[in-house]
Amino acid sequence: MANRTAAAFGLLCVIAGAYAPTLAFAQAEEFVPETVTTKERMDPGQNVFVNMQNWGGGPSVAYIYDAKDLTLKGSVSGGSQSHFTISADGNTAYMASGYYPRYDSGAGEHVLQIFDVPTNALTKEIVLPYKLAQYTDDIAFLRLSSDEKLIYIQNATPATSVTVVDLTSGTVVQEVPTPGCFGIYPTLEDHGFSTICNDGAFTTFTLSEDGTSAESQKSAKIFDPDADPIYLSSDRAEGNLLFISYHANVYRLDDSKGVIEKLSVTPIAEGVEGNWGTSGYSVVTYNEPNGILFVPMHSEHHDGSHYHGSEEVWAYDLKNKTLLYRSPLADLTAIHVTDEEVPQLFGLSLKNTKIYKFDVDPTAKFAAKQVAEHSDFGFATTLMASP
């Protein structure tokens, strides 16, 4: 290496005609100069992804943390007001965002960017219809089909629609109008998605295999948007869809039949003193092996407090309809639990702009306690983990 470096310098010296032929460090016996490089791949291991949305005309960043200890392992960056998701294996990341020629002004473009996670490298960029939702991020805005051949992207102009991109060809194949409806909840089978509508019903769109056409079917009224509005946040439980309302009622829905059917409504705060309500943005996360739902909660909830930070995170046994444990975890506005037998719980605090990791003890009623934290991201409301 030393010789090669010296040779490199020598070459330059000859060319530039201004340098002594050997330099100080080439003369040192033991010292071998270092070189600047780029680390090609992140260290392997399970990752946690946090989508930091930039609302100030600059780049959004998805930070990638080591699930073990929240060490920052890497990041990918895109445009403004990003939406973000990852492939099931955690090796591919998708970001939809906006770039504007004068940052805060001028007609720009909305793009889908695809990244290789291990190398943090941008691998593809697809220009989208200029209609991307500019909305506080939820995972419901950028969703892969279950076979990961299509990706569904939420639009709002404010008229709402869904852009369908064929990831194999890298082209936009369809824009599905979804008037009065918002959020994308893909079906587990085939191509299609459901969406929440303004009258409390859901509409399910069943797409053709190639994604180019769609048929829709509207459900009965599922919830009352006036009396018991649900969040956009969702998770799967044994194949069903879970939502939760501001007032902490859990809606369990079946989307396997081409139309949404309501299976149950479970009020998890009923009978608990203190008028508790749901707290934050990513508020529905379910640990499948144990059947435990985790929800950030705050007391004395009232109109307008639904996005406030948590006072506690509740572990609720959804099969036995039992509130198991109330962990005193403050200021969380988004949580995500892994689907492991011994769950790992991750949380975001908008107030503290931090990510936290909590150990969860299945032998102690799924009590959670903080074991790691990391700061230095900005406005983030969604997080997800690779397997």
Partner 1 sequence: MAKLIDSFLGWMDTAAENRARRIANVSGRRSFLQKAGWALVGGAVLPMLPYDNSNGQAFARGLGEPDELPEDCEYWRYCSLHGSLCSQCGGSVTQCPPGSTPSKVAWVGTCRNPNDDKDYLVSYNDCCGKGGGCGDGCSRQEGDRPGYRYGLASESSWCLANEDKGIHCTVAIVVGLAE
DSSP 8-state class, residue 385: E
Identified binder of partner 1 from the candidate list 156, 173, 371, 372, rule CB under 8 A = 156
Report the candidate in 84, 101, 83, 87 with the shortest Cα–Cα distance to residue 156.
83
Examine residue 174 and tell whether it contacts partner 1 (CB under 8 A).
no
From 28-36, 184-192, 206-214, 334-342, give the range in contact with partner 1 by CB under 8 A.
28-36
User: Could you give the 3-state DSSP secondary structure of residue 158?
Assistant: coil
Identified binder of partner 1 from the candidate list 184, 232, 268, 385, rule CB under 8 A = 232
Examine residue 160 and tell whether it contacts partner 1 (CB under 8 A).
yes
Work out whether strand 312-317 and strand 80-86 pair parallel, antiparallel, or are unpaired.
unpaired
Bridge partner list, 63: 50, 75
User: Could you give the 3-state DSSP secondary structure of residue 308?
Assistant: coil
Examine residue 77 and tell whether it contacts a second copy (CB under 8 A).
yes
Examine residue 180 and tell whether it contacts a second copy (CB under 8 A).
no
- Residue numbers 308-337 binding partner 1 by CB under 8 A: 308
CB of 353 to a second copy, least distance (A): 15
Examine residue 103 and tell whether it contacts a second copy (CB under 8 A).
yes
DSSP string, 49-84: EEEE---SSS--EEEEEETTT--EEEEEE-SEEEEE
User: Could you give the 3-state DSSP secondary structure of residue 9?
Assistant: helix
Q: Hey, how many other C-beta atoms are within 10 angstroms of the C-beta on 387?
A: 11
In this complex, which beta carbon is closest to partner 1, that of residue 39 or of residue 369?
Answer: 39
Q: Hey, how many other C-beta atoms are within 10 angstroms of the C-beta on 384?
A: 21
CB of 272 to a second copy, least distance (A): 39
Pick from a second copy, partner 1, none: which does 291 bind, CB < 5 to 8 A by kind? none
CB of 183 to partner 1, least distance (A): 7
Identified binder of partner 1 from the candidate list 20, 271, 320, 363, rule CB under 8 A = 20
Examine residue 192 and tell whether it contacts partner 1 (CB under 8 A).
no
CB of 16 to a second copy, least distance (A): 14
Pick from a second copy, partner 1, none: which does 101 bind, CB < 5 to 8 A by kind? a second copy
Amino acid at 186: P
Examine residue 24 and tell whether it contacts partner 1 (CB under 8 A).
yes
Exposed/middle/buried for residue 72 (C-beta within 10 Å: 0-12, 13-18, 19+)? middle
Pick from partner 1, a second copy, none: which does 307 bind, CB < 5 to 8 A by kind? partner 1
From 34-42, 57-65, 187-195, 211-219, give the range in contact with a second copy by CB under 8 A.
57-65
CB of 10 to a second copy, least distance (A): 23
In this complex, which beta carbon is closest to partner 1, that of residue 103 or of residue 319?
Answer: 103
Examine residue 17 and tell whether it contacts a second copy (CB under 8 A).
no
CB 310 within 8 A of CB 283: no
Examine residue 31 and tell whether it contacts a second copy (CB under 8 A).
no
- Residue numbers 46-105 binding partner 1 by CB under 8 A: 52, 54-61, 63-64, 72-77, 80-81, 98, 100, 103-105
Examine residue 225 and tell whether it contacts a second copy (CB under 8 A).
no
Report the candidate in 197, 189, 252 with the shortest Cα–Cα distance to residue 220.
197
Pick from a second copy, partner 1, none: which does 99 bind, CB < 5 to 8 A by kind? a second copy
Examine residue 54 and tell whether it contacts a second copy (CB under 8 A).
yes
Exposed/middle/buried for residue 236 (C-beta within 10 Å: 0-12, 13-18, 19+)? middle
Examine residue 271 and tell whether it contacts partner 1 (CB under 8 A).
no
Q: Between the CA of residue 76 and those of 59, 123, 135, 153, what are the distances in Å? A: 10, 11, 20, 19
What is the C-alpha to C-alpha distance for residues 146 and 346, in angstroms, rounded to an integer?
24
What is the C-alpha to C-alpha distance for residues 38 and 3, in angstroms, rounded to an integer?
22
What is the C-alpha to C-alpha distance for residues 225 and 202, in angstroms, rounded to an integer?
12
List contacts with a second copy (CB under 8 A): 54, 56-59, 77, 79, 99, 101-104
